[in-house]
């Protein structure tokens, strides 16, 4: 076990957590163990279970919502070396948790394929961290959450080293559970044919016009859609010809002016509030997230802009959730302005508790949450795995 003080400090920090609430929860870990195979996992789990030692599985630590922040003195298990050589068929690729997302994508590209949904942190993150902790990403307009795009199979270890293999719907009990109810050591996840998507820009003064365009876009030909107000996009996009509202679309269709979209990963879902924490210029930077329908987006944004104008930056990732178009909406402003923003948002859309440490507050499908709890009771009754983050009483 590694107990070097510098490494302890590094592993105790969640470097991409920019929430002023979550960042105060950092606690020092008590040690680090690096694993490279399942025998290592099994041995560590057996010892931790015997001596009641909390464990947190960690990949690259790219979570923005605190999944790797210890709530109790814990040992971090580094899974970066638990990798595979990849196996695939026409619909799925088999991976291990330490495999880097970028390397999986590079492997699939050689075969004319790509992941159906993958994280904006693709150049940094492990696939195990994304399966266990992520939800949205590139491809969410086509497929929604990554676990809705298809997890065929998971191999999971319980805290006493017992093995469970789950398929199809039962995998939803572990996706987004942040490793609180099992340790994933193998997965088969959905892939698709890679296409020639072009990044394009459409601009308008009229937000309603932008939203009407979104309604017409076919999912099978449209990979991703981003809505950005001019102030937000001008900070990051390095683009000319912007208007009050700007729509960036990756599609095989010819829809607007083609752009160099290499900066877009800085503007995808969780990446956006990390990016703007560094460049927004707000002295007391704060952000909130809301999942809004097209109609709710127009109503809420119009009213917020009426009161705050350029004092608030607006970003929206367009996704599909349970068959409906939903906008993952990020509001960024000075902290003092959020009383106005929250009053306007009240009773609109689906809350996304971006500053909560608890998994329960971000799972918006009750049946998935119940599956998570079921497997927590079955596989981790002593709450050894990432303890305290999955509440069983709510």
Q: What is the pLDDT of residues 62-85, one digit of tens each?
A: 888 888 999 999 999 999 999 999
Q: What is the pLDDT of residues 154-165, one digit of tens each?
A: 999 999 999 999
Q: d(Cα 155, Cα 165) in Å, to the nearest integer?
A: 5
Buried b / exposed e over 231-250, threshold 16 CB at 10 Å, is bbbebbbebeebbebbbbbb
**C-alpha torsion sign, points 71, 363, 318, 115:** positive
Judge contact between 347 and 372, C-beta under 8 A: no
Tell which wins on pLDDT, 66 or 294. Answer: 294
Indicate the range of 52-56, 260-264, 362-366 predicted with least confidence: 260-264
pLDDT interval class at 348 (50, 70, 90):
confident
Q: What is the pLDDT of residues 90-120, one digit of tens each?
A: 999 999 999 999 999 999 999 999 999 999 8
CB atoms within 10 A of CB 169: 11
Q: What H or E segment, with its residue span, contains residue 58?
A: strand 55-58
Q: What is the pLDDT of residue 321?
A: 92
Q: What is the pLDDT of residue 393?
A: 87
Q: What is the pLDDT of residue 163?
A: 97
pLDDT interval class at 352 (50, 70, 90):
low
Strands 312-321 and 55-58: unpaired
Q: What is the pLDDT of residues 257-280, one digit of tens each?
A: 999 887 777 777 778 888 899 999
Q: What is the pLDDT of residues 184-243, one digit of tens each?
A: 999 999 999 999 999 999 999 999 999 999 999 999 999 999 999 999 999 886 788 899
Position 312 pLDDT exceeds 80? yes
Please, which residues have CB within 8 angstroms of residue 191's CB and are 6 or more apart in sequence? 88, 91, 92, 93, 108, 113, 114, 115, 116
Mean pLDDT over the full length of the chain? 92
Strands 55-58 and 75-78: parallel
Task: Please tell me the chain's helix, strand, coil percentages from 3-state DSSP, rounded to the nearest 5.
Answer: 35, 25, 40
Position 151 pLDDT exceeds 90? yes
Q: What is the pLDDT of residue 65?
A: 85
């Amino acid at each position: 076990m590694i107990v070097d003080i510098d490494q302890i400090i590094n592993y105790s920090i969640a470097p991409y957590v920019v929430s002023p609430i979550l960042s105060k929860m950092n606690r020092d870990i008590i040690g680090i163990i690096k694993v490279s195979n399942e025998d290592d996992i099994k041995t560590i789990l057996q010892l931790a279970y015997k001596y009641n030692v909390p464990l947190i599985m960690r990949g690259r630590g790219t979570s923005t919502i605190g999944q790797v922040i210890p709530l109790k003195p814990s040992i971090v298990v580094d899974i970066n070396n638990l990798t595979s050589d990849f196996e695939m068929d026409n619909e799925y690729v088999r991976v291990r948790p330490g495999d880097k997302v970028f390397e999986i994508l590079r492997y699939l590209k050689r075969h004319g394929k790509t992941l159906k949904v993958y994280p904006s942190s693709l150049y940094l993150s492990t696939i195990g961290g994304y399966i266990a902790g992520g939800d949205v990403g590139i491809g969410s307009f086509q497929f929604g959450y990554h676990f809705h795009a298809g997890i065929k199979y998971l191999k999971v270890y319980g805290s006493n080293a017992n093995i469970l293999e789950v398929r199809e719907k039962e995998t939803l009990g572990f996706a987004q559970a942040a490793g609180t109810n099992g340790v994933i050591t193998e997965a088969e996840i959905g892939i698709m044919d890679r296409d020639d998507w072009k990044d394009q820009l459409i601009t308008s003064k009229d937000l309603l016009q932008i939203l009407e365009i979104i309604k017409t876009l076919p999912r099978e030909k449209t990979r991703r859609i981003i809505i950005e107000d001019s102030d937000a996009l001008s900070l990051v996009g390095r683009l000319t010809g912007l208007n009050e509202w700007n729509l960036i679309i990756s599609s095989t269709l010819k829809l607007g002016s083609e752009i160099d979209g290499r900066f877009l990963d800085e503007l995808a879902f969780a990446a956006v509030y990390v990016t703007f924490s560094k460049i927004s210029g707000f002295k007391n930077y704060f952000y909130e997230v809301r999942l809004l329908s097209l109609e709710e987006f127009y109503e809420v944004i119009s009213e917020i802009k009426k009161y705050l104008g350029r004092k608030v930056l607006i970003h929206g990732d367009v996704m599909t959730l349970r068959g409906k178009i939903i906008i993952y909406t990020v509001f960024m402003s000075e902290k003092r302005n959020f009383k106005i923003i929250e009053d306007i948002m009240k009773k609109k859309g689906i809350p996304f508790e971006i500053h909560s440490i608890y998994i329960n507050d971000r799972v918006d499908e009750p049946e998935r949450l119940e599956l998570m709890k079921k497997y927590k009771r079955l596989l981790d009754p002593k709450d050894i795995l990432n303890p305290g983050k999955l509440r069983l009483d709510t």
